[in-house]
Amino acid sequence: MKIARLNAIAFMLLVGGFAAMFGPAPAFAGKDDPVFINLTSDDAHNMVMALRFSKHMSEAGHPATLFVNGKGVLMLNKNMPAAYGERQKELKELMAKGVTVIACGHCVEHLGLKEADLLDGVKIATPAIMNETLFKDDTKTLSW
Residues 6+ apart with CB under 8 A from 48: 87
64, 52 in Cβ contact below 8 A?
no
Domain CATH for 124: 3.40.1260.10
Residue 20's pLDDT is what?
Answer: 54
pTM (2 d.p.):
0.80
Gap between the Cα atoms of 140 and 37, Å rounded: 8
Average pLDDT of adjacent 10-residue blocks, the chain of 144 residues: 63 55 58 94 96 96 97 97 96 97 97 97 96 93 92
Residue 13's pLDDT is what?
Answer: 54
Q: Is residue 24 part of a domain?
A: no
Q: Which domain range does residue 113 map to? A: 35-143
Gap between the Cα atoms of 74 and 82, Å rounded: 12
Q: Is residue 15 part of a domain?
A: no
38, 67 in Cβ contact below 8 A?
yes
